[in-house]
Amino acid sequence: MPEPHPRGPLHGVRVLDLTRVLAGPFCTLLLWELGAEVIKIERPGHGDDTRLFPPYQNGESVYFASVNRGKRSLALDLNAADDRATFEALAAQADVLVENFRPGTMEKLGYGADVIAQKFPALIFARISGFGQTGPYRDRPAYDLIVQALGGMMSINGPEGGPGVRLGISLADTGAGMFTAMAIMAALYERRASGKGRVIDMAMYDCQTMLLEASLVRYLATGETQAPTGSRHPVITPFDVFQTQDARIAIACANDDLFQKLSDAIDRPAWKTDDRYAGVFARYANHAALKHDIELALAGKPAAEWLRLLETAGVPCAPIHDMADVAADPQLNARGMFVEVNDPEMGVLKMPGAAFNISGYPRDPTRPPAPNLDEARADVLRQLGRAPEPQRERVKGAPRDPIW
Amino acid sequence: MPEPHPRGPLHGVRVLDLTRVLAGPFCTLLLWELGAEVIKIERPGHGDDTRLFPPYQNGESVYFASVNRGKRSLALDLNAADDRATFEALAAQADVLVENFRPGTMEKLGYGADVIAQKFPALIFARISGFGQTGPYRDRPAYDLIVQALGGMMSINGPEGGPGVRLGISLADTGAGMFTAMAIMAALYERRASGKGRVIDMAMYDCQTMLLEASLVRYLATGETQAPTGSRHPVITPFDVFQTQDARIAIACANDDLFQKLSDAIDRPAWKTDDRYAGVFARYANHAALKHDIELALAGKPAAEWLRLLETAGVPCAPIHDMADVAADPQLNARGMFVEVNDPEMGVLKMPGAAFNISGYPRDPTRPPAPNLDEARADVLRQLGRAPEPQRERVKGAPRDPIW
């Protein structure tokens, strides 16, 4: 059932979504935002665990509402014969099937990769797991924290001289969702010509490894293991956060020209010919002393005044904004990066929109709400040519026992 | 010139790549890894700035080598008539054009979005900039640090109680590359049916905003601005890093069952019925006391022993690995996540492969090297039906004056 007004270039693409929590649902959200239809298959009675994740608005999870907006929900017990028939009828009509169970779960349900590929040869079957469907860690439980610790991400993140800390975002999850969405779309592109499905075996662990980029590349080439460098660029100087009279600001001088502008703007023109600081290599060698000297120079005025002076001088700089600043940000608001959802139970919700911006598909300032559990039952059965049944459950995420 | 053996589902897709540094080149690397051909257009004499980025191997940039592997290089001066004719001939044959200049640069070259859309109506023209082609910040310089500071990412990353720090990876850049690759592939999928090109206007700032996920969603719903929580999950407890006798380990107990297993494994069975710790909400309310008590319990044994005990007990846990551990990791090696490049100048290089894993395209343990500047001149001119010319420059990135 393609929607009447295409939302994006993937209009007409039907995604059958068995995913829960974050990595998988973020993947199918990306596909939805690009125009696909997503039918979220949830276990009866309970649904996606994140229906119970805080924070709540009117008793419903805001977290669930943001990651699952626009999707449709159907509650199916994949161990029950009737529901299996429904699932298979939907799979026969779908373009993409996505799951993020632990490896082995789909096999136990009788829906391993071989079975799916044989029954539905045109289906793109994407699997997301912590460590992948193969290899010695295959059966390990994978939470974002575990992947960040084991996969090296923590070891390069945090203040200089201190122990590494987990990223402040769940990138092991969201990154995996992003890479999987890419693999799916590449397979969709190919399938338009070939008609052939593919099985995609993505691991949070693999995805995070690609995102380690420079730090891992450096180690593999030189054997140097990087420790956290705080906000400081490991090579370019000054490229860091600096304390002013009242708050910290970021300053990024990527070359000599910008450093000379900085020297003038903060009333240290002598630095332009100072052997310690004139030239990229000199600044790198003396980066600690330079940071100290810059903070001495900045101590006399508040952040707002320095930002004004530096901007006028053409020196890249920025305040350190928090979530409240981001929500009020003129650029993000001018670009339409926030959207509103009018949810029947929750009321009006504001949330970040999608980063995509494609001509012919202007950014919509609204989104449909996330679905109640099993909300699409009647519609989906009608599409399949079956007699409609009453919706099995009504509540979205009323705070019963949280499972986590 | 599609390659004889398809590397991935995007085989046959031709990408004309005007990008430099990281966000754009990471985007086109992703497309290359999925099977596309990428012709990297560089400015004569100098090429991509990152050809000079450290670290080096045999005088060539390892950084450049990893992000630009497999691509072809052509040096063109887009202000010179001859080279403009070559560029336009290539654009007429390409499926995708990507650029990440500052907004206004393509317009000054006479290649604004309107011109491109009119001359090449079937071309997908993707633009990546710091803040986007529209809005009040459009002309601001955007480095990863600036985007992370201004866009709120720093404010939620770092140790609990401390000031926020920049992520240890350049996610404002790589994230933008990933979202842009997705937008391009969605447009390619649509174009297979419609024949129509699109203009894609992506901003690092927008992309990062979507990756703030839970923290921003929480603020928008509740008005609570999150400060860094270190490695600790903001809600689930215990879900953090804990000191043992000799090193820290990550432990992730997402529910009561796992907490009970943990309590037994670390010889604190009384916690299972302790009012302070029995139950999700109790643990959340007493998370600081629980962390203290867990670290007391862990103090008597080294990390390796605890990890063995916890794994046996079924408690999700992990050591904090650094880059050396990652390079030696059995799972990543078993999955083929590292690849080798045999570069004529640099010798053998090991680097992370791509996270994609698609049936029919088994992971290749090797990659072709990144190109010398203008290396593809003769080939490209031949393809365009023109007389071959000698390559204009030979060196890849010999350490002349670094520009940063």
Question: How far apart are alpha carbons B198 and B3 in whole angstroms?
Answer: 25
Q: Which of A213-217, B140-144, B178-182 has the highest mean pLDDT?
A: B178-182
> Is it the case that residue A404 has pLDDT exceeding 50?
no
A354 within a domain of the structure (yes/no): yes
Residue found under tokens 């009561």: B256
Do B306 and B165 reside in the same domain of the chain?
no
> What is the sign, positive or negative, of the torsion defined by CA atoms of A132, A137, A140, A145?
negative
Beta strands in A214-308 (DSSP E): 239-243, 248-252
Over residues B192-218, mean pLDDT: 97
CA separation for the pair A273, A287 (Å, rounded): 16
**Chain A closest-CA separation from residue B387 CA (Å):** 34
Q: Is the pLDDT of residue B196 over 80?
A: yes
Rounded CA gap, A388 and A377, in Å?
A: 8
| Tokens linked to B285 | 């309310």
Here the CATH number for the domain that contains residue A33 is 3.40.50.10540
Rounded mean pLDDT of chain B? 94
Distance from CA of B80 to the nearest CA of A (A): 27
B238 cis-preceded (ω within 30 degrees of 0): yes
C-beta atoms surrounding A338 within 10 Å: 18
Residue B398, pLDDT above cutoff 50: no
Strands B37-42 and B14-17: parallel
Query: A151 and A107 in one domain?
Result: yes
Mutation choice for B interface testing from A138, A199, A210, A237 by most B CBs within 10 A: A210
Task: Confirm or reject contact between B143 and chain A (CB < 8 A).
Answer: yes
If residue B354 lies in a helix (H) or strand (E), which one and from where to where? none
CA closest to A339 among chain B residues: B220
Q: What is the pLDDT of residue A109?
A: 98
Domain of B292: which CATH number?
Answer: 3.30.1540.10
User: Taking Cα atoms as reference points, which of A245, A250, A249, A232 lies closest to residue A288?
Assistant: A232
Partners of B186 on chain A (C-beta within 8 Å) are 8-10, 34-35, 185, 356, 358
A189 touches chain B (CB under 8 A): yes
Examine the domain organization and report whether A96 and A201 are in the same domain: yes
Whether the CB-CB separation of A110 and A116 falls below 8 Å is answered with no
Amino acid symbol at A73? S
What's the domain count of chain A?
A: 2
Domain boundary residue, one of A298, A319, A340: A319
Q: Let me know whether B297 and B340 are in one domain.
A: no
Distance of CA A368 to the CA centre of its chain: 20
Instruction: Please give, rounded to a whole number of angstroms, the shortest distance from the CA of A91 to a CA of chain B.
Output: 19
Q: Is residue A39 part of a domain?
A: yes
Question: In A120-161, where does DSSP find H-type helix?
Answer: 144-150
What pLDDT does A345 receive? 92
3-state secondary structure of B122: coil
Helix axes B303-313, B256-265, angle to 10 degrees: 130
Look at residue B60 and tell me whether its pLDDT is greater than 70.
yes
Q: Does residue A48 sit in the same domain as residue A93? A: yes
Q: What is the pLDDT of residues A289-315, one digit of tens each?
A: 999 999 999 999 999 999 999 999 999
- pLDDT for residue A391: 76
Q: Do B131 and A331 touch (CB under 8 A)?
A: yes
- Closest CB from B323, B331, B338 relative to A131: B331
Minimal-distance CA residue of chain B relative to A65: B217
Please tell me the distance from the alpha carbon of residue A95 to that of residue A122, in angstroms, as a whole number.
7
Q: Does B387 touch chain A (CB under 8 A)?
A: no
How confident is the prediction for chain A on average, in pLDDT?
94
Note which residues in 230-249 of chain B have CB less than 8 A from chain A. 230-233, 235-236, 239-241, 248-249
Flag whether A164 is in a domain.
Answer: yes
Q: What residues of chain B, 350 to 379, have a C-beta less than 8 Å from chain A?
A: 350-360
Rounded to a whole number of angstroms, the distance from the CA of A284 to the nearest CA of chain B is 11
B45 and B102 belong to one structural domain: yes
Burial string for B3-14 (b: 16+ CB within 10 Å, else e) reads: eeeebbbbbebb
Read off the amino acid at residue A102.
R
B57: contact with A, CB 8 A cutoff? yes
Share of chain B above pLDDT 70, in %: 96
Query: Chain B contacts of A210, Cβ < 8 Å?
Result: 352-355
Task: Note the maximum CA span of chain A.
Answer: 83
Catalytic residue chosen out of the listed positions B233, B287, B292, B321: B233
Q: What domain range includes position A64?
A: 14-211+330-383
Same domain, A107 and A191: yes
Q: Are residues A293 and A374 in the same domain?
A: no
Q: Do B209 and A158 touch (CB under 8 A)?
A: no
Residues A193-233: tens digit of each pLDDT: 999 999 999 999 999 999 998 999 999 999 999 999 999 99
In a domain? residue A142 = yes
Peptide linkage before A55 cis (omega within 30 of 0): yes
Q: Which of B189, B225, B240 to mutate to test the interface with A (most CBs of A within 10 A)?
A: B189
Please list every residue in chain A whose beta carbon sits closer than 8 Å to the beta carbon of residue B162. Answer: 159
Residue B335 tokens, joined: 């999955």
Q: What integer is the mean pLDDT of B304-327?
A: 98
Burial class (CB in 10 A: 0-12, 13-18, 19+), B162: middle
Q: In this predicted model, what pLDDT tens digit does every residue of A69-119 receive, in sequence order?
A: 999 999 999 999 999 999 999 999 999 999 999 999 999 999 999 999 999
Q: What does the pLDDT average to over B240-257?
A: 96
Domain termination residue (choose one: B297, B319, B341): B319
Tell me which of A5, A11, A46, A233 is the catalytic residue: A233
**A135–B contact, CB cutoff 8 A:** yes
Active site residue B321: no
| Nearest chain A residue (CA) to B216 | A323
pLDDT score of B2 more than 60: no
Answer yes or no: do A263 and A344 share one domain: no
Domain identity same for A314 and A349: no
Question: Which one-letter DSSP state was computed for residue B145?
Answer: H
The reply to whether B179 falls in a domain is yes
The first and second tokens of residue B365, run together, are 């343990």
With respect to residue A232, please indicate whether it lies within any of the assigned structural domains. no
Shared domain check, A50 and A71: yes
Interface test with B, best of A46, A190, A253, A307 (most B CBs within 10 A): A190
Rounded mean pLDDT of A140-160? 96
Partner A contacted by B155 (CB < 8 A): yes
In B239-298, the residues whose Cβ lies within 8 Å of chain A are: 239-241, 248-250, 252, 254-255, 280
The verdict on B315 and B337 lying in the same domain is no
Q: Does A187 touch chain B (CB under 8 A)?
A: yes
